[in-house]
Amino acid sequence: MQALADRLREMEPAMADLLDEAQRGDAAAFETLYRLHVGRVHALCRRLARDPGRAEELTQEVFLRAWKHLGSCPGGEALAGWLCRMAIHVVLSDNRKLRRRFWRESPPADGVLRDRADSHAPPGLALDLERAIAGLPPGARQVFVLHDVEGFRHEEIGKLLGLSPGTSKAQLHRARRLLKEALGS
């Protein structure tokens, strides 16, 4: 593992230089950062926003905001986390706008999970799980994605979603129960 640590230390200057270039307005450097992180950001938008087309628009919005606020971006490993948090805020803000416009997101009733045809879903065994996650009610889906997929703690999720940690836990348990039923396990 020492070699791995050495390798990471060797890589940090290259990453820092790239971020520094982007912070000074170099769009090419920012493009490289985009290409390195777009998969992570898009995965988060996709799972939180559910709709593939909307997820792509939100991913673009995240990187546009990132460019605008790049001056406050921490370097190194923190960059990925900074982008992910920005993605969460962008998606949740968009969800709130949608809810205001349509009153609510028309969630399916508990236990009735919609099978959303999606040609861009990841192939293989994960497909059923991805579909089942997409079919969760919005609150349960957001907490499940943030806790079980992204690894956030209930206290952090509570702050991000404006919930108490107890409510976050309850939503997580509900999501797991619904997914278990949906997957027939």
Q: Which amino acid is at 107?
A: P
- Least CB distance from residue 98 to other proteins, whole Å? 20
Per the CB < 8 A criterion, the answer to whether 142 and 92 are in contact is yes
Minimum CB distance to other proteins smaller for 148 or for 156: 148
Two tokens at 183? 């997957």
Options 89-97, 100-108, 134-142, 176-184: segment touching other proteins (CB under 8 A): 176-184
CB atoms within 10 A of CB 24: 10
176 binds other proteins (CB under 8 A): yes
Site map (CB under 8 A) of other proteins, residues 68-87, x = contact: x--------x--x-------
Residue 162 exposed, middle or buried by CB count within 10 Å (0-12, 13-18, 19+):
exposed
Per the CB < 8 A criterion, the answer to whether 40 and 26 are in contact is no
Q: Which amino acid is at 142?
A: Q
Site map (CB under 8 A) of other proteins, residues 10-29, x = contact: xxx-xx-xx--x--xxxxxx
- Least CB distance from residue 112 to other proteins, whole Å? 18
Q: Where are the alpha helices (DSSP H) in the chain?
A: 2-23, 27-49, 52-68, 78-102, 126-134, 138-144, 154-161, 165-183
The one-character DSSP state at 72 is G
Site map (CB under 8 A) of other proteins, residues 104-133, x = contact: ---------------xx-x-xxx--xx---
Which of the residues 43 through 62 are near other proteins (CB under 8 A)? 43, 46, 52, 55-56, 59-60
- Least CB distance from residue 105 to other proteins, whole Å? 21
User: CA of 146: how far to CAs of 15, 16, 44, 135, 183, in Å?
Assistant: 26, 27, 9, 16, 20
Interface ranges with other proteins (CB under 8 A):
1, 3-4, 7-8, 10-12, 14-15, 17-18, 21, 24-32, 34-40, 42-43, 46, 52, 55-56, 59-60, 63-64, 67-68, 77, 80, 119-120, 122, 124-126, 129-130, 148-149, 151, 169, 172-173, 176-177, 179-180, 183, 185
